[in-house]
Chains A and B, each alone.
Chain A
């Protein structure tokens, strides 16, 4: 923590409390790693520092990091954000925490306790919820785009398979990339197998329903909202993230399709 004396008589020259700096960075990191828009992160960092009496704060956030300058630049905090997932529950949790800190202004050490509580919070839904909801969502979307009951059932099956396989994959981006690719691959395999066994099943419907929950919807939405606030750096980064996830999904789909087209389906269109 750098503290430099200024020439002025005011004892404002003392740098900010290290605990406050830590709290601001922890909350900012939490929000970013849950997938928050960067403007929200910058705004929250400034508000928390304001709540502790620091009126001269500036924050700069990108999806992979956060910089905050305290007390007119007498101290600067930086946090690199490595583990990024898209977790709406944690997003709401960190948002609640930030709001509580600003309203109650607890001693910074108490704030640090709250941070530990949020970090330690477990999964909000039981383990069976993911495959069940994936099945329901896939089937519903298949129906929505005009699929029949058998096609919806196959899409539901691929949802269960994909979720059961990737439970615990974690949020590291490389793993999420393979998650999307494996999901696309599995959806096509199940669609092709189903079409082979059951007459009248259109594989295209099964695959469309099977991959809908793997689409980078959250990254794309956050990208739009980032650009909406004029934050083009974050918007571009997130658009790219959405694009890469979509490409991974496409790779899985394309690989399975090209493998199957000649062998199982005799060259007919999927």
Chain B
């Protein structure tokens, strides 16, 4: 893992949803690659991180999956955002923004009150 950051619990779900919203249906490998790229290669996703997150999202109904052919003609399972997933993404985004905004206030250099 050397300099690659661990993915925070819970944030990976948001990344997956957001990525699926941006690029549309995608298979596991594609998703992993895309998330790694977007993070500026700061993140690295192995099996054990990615697939449990995908299964959980699917069980909760936020993403759906079906088998299809990849760009280089391999049978692959494609994930896509469901309606509930879109809603979830909006809500989670808003929450995340609020959380980071609050944290930013705490972590900002102290100002005189």
Check if A and B associate.
no
Give residues in A with beta carbon < 8 Å to B.
none
